[in-house]
Structure 1
Amino acid sequence: MRSVPYLNFQYSLEALAFYEKLGATITTVTKMSDPMFADMPDEERANSEFVMNASFTMFDQLIYCSDSWGNQPVDHAGSNLCFIFDQNNDEDIAQIELLFAKAEELGCEITMPLEAVEWSERFGMFRDPFGVTWLLSGE
């Protein structure tokens, strides 16, 4: 058994495009136009670009997402994605530093610089344009 984060966005395709710039790999996108939804009422199938389900990976970790029903705005205040990395592994450190640099370059709000804190040699936080806070912590 495992736990997989599942995020809802007003428009998932925008979030997926942004996450791809951060280094994510998009693994699936299933839209309302998929034949499996042919039995849905016409008014619900009107938006063929509506994302019923999608998935992406970041550091080989799977994350699901979809559009909010009716493409309603979503408030991600308090939503966090936490990535724990081996602070003794040079490759892990390089990947985390690259992610943090890309986040800053792409205009994410840096809420805590990637630096030493009481509980970790490297810890940082940033908030993406969709309101999701990314926590990066070495252990």
Structure 2
Amino acid sequence: MASIHPYLNFKGNTEEAFNFYKSVFGGEFLTLQRFKDTDQGASLPPQDQDKIMHISLAIGQDSLLMANDVLESMGHTLTVGDNVSLSINADSEEEATRLFNGLSAGGTVTMPLQKTFWGAYFGMFTDPFGIKWMVNHDLEQPE
């Protein structure tokens, strides 16, 4: 069955925030990927190269706190107070599709469910009640 984790967005201070959260919760960063390490990184302004594309912090045995920096250079904006999404990690593509289609019905899809460059089947939407969701299924990586 799918699991749900909070996903936060920050205006360029994700790393500072997550070092603070790590000092409070303990745990380890499971992922820390910077924009410069992605396919699109070379096209970003130098001040955005070291910003966080994705970070995840293990909290306890079954919870993750995840986040990224929202970059204006990529045409994105952020309103504090509207910067939290619920991220569903599905066990299969079929489960991801079912949950995406069900929860997004009557809402607004912001990124259709699709295979991504980071090796996931992923999509984003806002449900009819104004809640932001992300649906993710990690695809098998070739060895």
TM-score by length of 2: 0.44
Larger radius of gyration: 1
